[in-house]
Amino acid sequence: MNNFIYENSTKTYFGKGCVKEYLACLVKHYGKNVMFGYGGDSIKNNGIYDEIIESLTQAEKNVFEFSGICENPTYEKVQEGAKLAKENKIDFILAVGGGSVMDCCKAVSMAAVYGGDLWKDFFARHGIMDFDPVPLGAVVTEPETGSEVNGKAVITNKALKVRTGRDYPKCNPRFALIDPVYSCSVSRRQMVSDGFDTLSRIMEIYFSKPDEDNVSDDIAEALMKSVIQNLRAAIVNPKDYTARSNLIWDAAMAENRILKLGKQTDFQCHQMEHQIAAYTDCNQGEGLAVLHPVYYRHIYRNGRAKFKRFAVNVWGVSGLGKTEEETACEGVEALAGFIKEVGLPVTLRDIGVDENTDLKQIADSCILSAGSYKQMTHKEIFEIFQECY
């Protein structure tokens, strides 16, 4: 394995009833003014909102609501949150939701303190954070990006048509509360999208060097099999607690930095999806589902051994009597078959891209990853987009 340094500062509380049991006690360690960040009315309809307010009231906090955080959070929304935080001298931010809510709140925690141009200095490039952001905690309502256990925030700048993410350890939530029951209220479509988003993140770490035997790849294979198995189970029975609890922990494990230890990582497919979302505001998991099989058909020959291992160890493909390339190709097609099986979209048209969308412009705006088996060019990304259309 390659050399690495590992640290994760987020303390995680997992299980049924953990929010009611721990939240009031945890927030007591911070000041009086709490910003409660969330998305739409779904948490008001399923009882989560009332449970959060009850805990904050019990802790004698002044609560300032920051609602309406949408999927693919924008820099404008970050600025709105920062203004609210500054005006009310917010001492602590509580992000309640999925990855979008947590990402937005992390960026707000920075913007509420930083006096300069946050986008230019910390998102357009990776900056050096020589200040402390507003402390933040997370309550997870859906298994998705694992944002509750890292410092990464993915933000869309609509004016520039750029969507990018940066990971700053100082933005790690101080604590994360993960009650799998909360995820049971998520729609089937969102559950499937979230599950594939998790699978995508694991694959983007797995399909990168080094390829020699290493612990990270072994864990990644176990997690990929878990996502596949439990997503199938949750589709059959959306109230299956075992499946839901496994999926929500799979998401946390995918992005708590453990899998990335000693790995180069790829994330080219995520960069491509980010830019499609910047132009179309598509759902992330669905966008990734459209792109991954086509992207892997372009690169699997450059990483045949790893793609063969993926086919055999994750999908149960038999390599008997087949060449390494044939087995590797079967693994990619098994992934494509799974995407269809769970009802995810398979073309860009399915996610809102139409003849008025300038795919070449989007391709040319994509960041080129250094970690893939095959170095992409903007020309080849455009070809992938055309094939996906």
**Confidence class of residue 246 from pLDDT cuts 50, 70 and 90?**
very high
pLDDT reading at 144 higher than 80: no
pLDDT band for position 183 (cuts 50, 70, 90) = very high
Residue reference for tokens 């060449």: 323
Share of the chain above pLDDT 70, in %: 100
Give the per-residue pLDDT at 7: 84
Q: What is the pLDDT of residue 294?
A: 98
Asked whether the bond before 135 is cis by omega within 30 degrees of 0, the reply is no
CA distance 190 to 283: 9
Q: Is the model's pLDDT at 371 over the cut of 80? A: no
Q: What tokens appear for 224 in the block?
A: 């990929």
How many C-beta atoms lie closer than 10 Å to residue 45's C-beta? 10
Q: CATH 1.20.1090.10 region(s) of the chain? A: 188-388
CATH fold of 11-182 = Rossmann fold (3.40.50)
- Read off the pLDDT of each residue in 315-343 and give the average, rounded to a whole number: 97
In three state form, how does the secondary structure of 63-83 look? EEEECCCCCCCEHHHHHHHHH
Q: What is the pLDDT of residues 49-90, one digit of tens each?
A: 999 999 999 999 999 999 999 999 999 999 999 999 999 999
Residue 319's SS3 state is coil
Terminus-to-terminus CA distance in the chain, angstroms?
Answer: 39
Confidence at 325, pLDDT banded by 50, 70, 90: very high
- For residues 251-278, average pLDDT: 95
Sorted by sequence, the CB contacts under 8 Å of residue 142 that are 6+ apart come out as 97, 98, 182, 183, 186, 190, 191, 194, 248
Residue 269 · residue 333 · CB < 8 Å: no
Phi, psi of 13, rounded to the nearest 5 degrees: -115, 120
Whether residue 165 has pLDDT greater than 80 = yes
pLDDT confidence band for 234 (50 / 70 / 90): very high
SS (H, E, C) 330-375: HHHHHHHHHHHHCCCCCCCHHHCCCCCCCHHHHHHHCCCCCCCCCC
Give 5's contacts (C-beta < 8 A, 6+ positions apart).
none
Picking from 75, 103, 185, 173, the residue whose alpha carbon sits closest to that of residue 141 is 185
Helix (H) or strand (E) holding 272: helix 268-280
Three-state SS sequence of 1-40: CCCCCCCCCCEEEECCCHHHHHHHHHHCCCCCEEEEECCC
CATH 1.20.1090.10 fits 188-388, yes or no: yes
Q: What is the DSSP letter of 162?
A: E
- In the chain, residues under CATH classification 3.40.50.1970 are 11-182
303 or 142: which leads in pLDDT = 303
- Calculate ∠ Cα 182-184-185, nearest 5°: 85
- State the Cα–Cα distance between residues 86 and 80, nearest whole angstrom: 10
How large is the angle between the packed helices 241-254 and 188-206, nearest 10 degrees? 40
Strands 152-157 and 162-167 come out as: antiparallel
pLDDT in tens, 348-369: 999 999 999 999 999 999 999 8
Distance, CA of 354 to CA of 284 (rounded, Å): 17
Nearest in space to 188 (alpha carbons), one of 151, 237, 255: 237
Return the bridge partners of 96, or none: 139
Mean pLDDT of 335-352: 97
Q: List helix spans (H) across 158-255.
A: 188-206, 215-236, 241-254
Confidence check: pLDDT of 143 > 90: no
pLDDT at 26 (0 to 100)? 98
